[in-house]
Amino acid sequence: MMPANHSGSVRRVSLHTERLTLRPTNRADADRAFEIQSDWDVTRMLRMARFPPDLDETVGWFAEHEQEWLAGTAYRFAVLREGRMIGLVDIDEVDGGEGDLGYWFEKAGWGQGFAFEAARAVADFAFGALGLTRLRSGHAADNPASGNVLMKLGFRPLSATRRPSRSRGEDILHQSYVLMREESGTR
Ligand SMILES: CC(C)(COP(=O)(O)OP(=O)(O)OC[C@H]1O[C@@H](n2cnc3c(N)ncnc32)[C@H](O)[C@@H]1OP(=O)(O)O)[C@@H](O)C(=O)NCCC(=O)NCCS
């Protein structure tokens, strides 16, 4: 595969899995993301998110994504099921061959394997096209669903530490994980 174009950045490619299309995000995704993050059960699990979400802030965030991709600092994908956005998976904080994996999905889609299917495709992209060697991730200690997604991907639990949660407005216990490329089944 030829991961980079002649300017050195990774092409803005879509990824395809058995049931899902993952396409690089754009600013038009903000309304749908706002709708999904207006559900407290989703956003309480997102440490850096505001609740209730703010539409201007959400639009501003999506407006940065293309530039982040070109700069090589973050790669964010809208997850589409039959053409409709059901969630988002991203790799951000990319630096020194490492990055952070994150994801969130609308509640109606939970429990059907979509998070695992989509996150696996993005982890493969990170270790393959991006050439990263190490992925970090983590979840609130009271979010076993996310822990199961990470364990199924092969992530290893590291430490549990207290960290601020913006959505909850308090410190929470946060469990961190790591996945090395050679442990991931991806080359
Ligand atoms: C966490 C989240 C992404 C999981 O999405 P999902 O599509 O339901 O996950 P999957 O169906 O791919 O499930 C993956 C594994 O987790 C397990 N799982 C799913 N929901 C679970 C739950 N509530 N409790 C325990 N395990 C659960 C599944 O059984 C599956 O394992 P299995 O295949 O061995 O059965 C989804 O609940 C979500 O978006 N939550 C809100 C945002 C969030 O928490 N993001 C992550 C922040 S760290």
Q: What is the whole-number distance in angstroms between the Cα of residue 132 and the centre of ligand 1?
A: 25
Spans of all domains in the chain: 15-183
CB 60 within 8 A of CB 92: no
Q: What is the atom index within ligand 1 of the atom nearest the CA of 138?
A: 48
Segment 154-165, tens digit of pLDDT: 999 999 999 999
Does residue 134 register a pLDDT over 90? yes
113 pocket-lining for ligand 1 (C-beta < 6 Å): yes
Residue 185 confidence class, pLDDT cut points 50, 70, 90 = confident
pTM over 0.85: yes
Q: Quickly tell me which residue has 């970090």 as its tokens.
A: 136
Q: How far apart are the CA of 25 and the centre of ligand 1, in A?
A: 22
Report how far residue 124's alpha carbon sits from residue 134's, in angstroms, rounded to the nearest whole number.
Answer: 12
- Average confidence score pLDDT of the chain: 95
CA pair distance 44, 39, nearest whole angstrom? 9
CA–CA dist 45, 69 (Å, integer): 25
Digit-coded pLDDT (tens) for 138-184: 999 999 999 999 999 999 999 999 999 999 999 999 999 999 999 98
When pLDDT is averaged across residues 64-93 and rounded to a whole number, the result is: 98
Cα(145)–Cα(163) distance, integer angstroms: 19
With a cut of 90, say whether residue 137 has pLDDT above it: yes
Q: What is the mean pLDDT of residues 116-122?
A: 98
Q: Is the CB–ligand 1 distance for residue 177 below 6 Å?
A: no
Whole-number Å distance between alpha carbons of 39 and 34? 9
Any ligand 1 atom below 6 A from CB of 145: yes
If you measure from the C-alpha of residue 154 to the centroid of ligand 1, how many angstroms do you get, rounded to a whole number?
Answer: 15
Q: What is the pLDDT of residues 6-28, one digit of tens each?
A: 456 899 999 999 999 999 999 99
CATH architecture of 15-183: 3-Layer(aba) Sandwich (3.40)
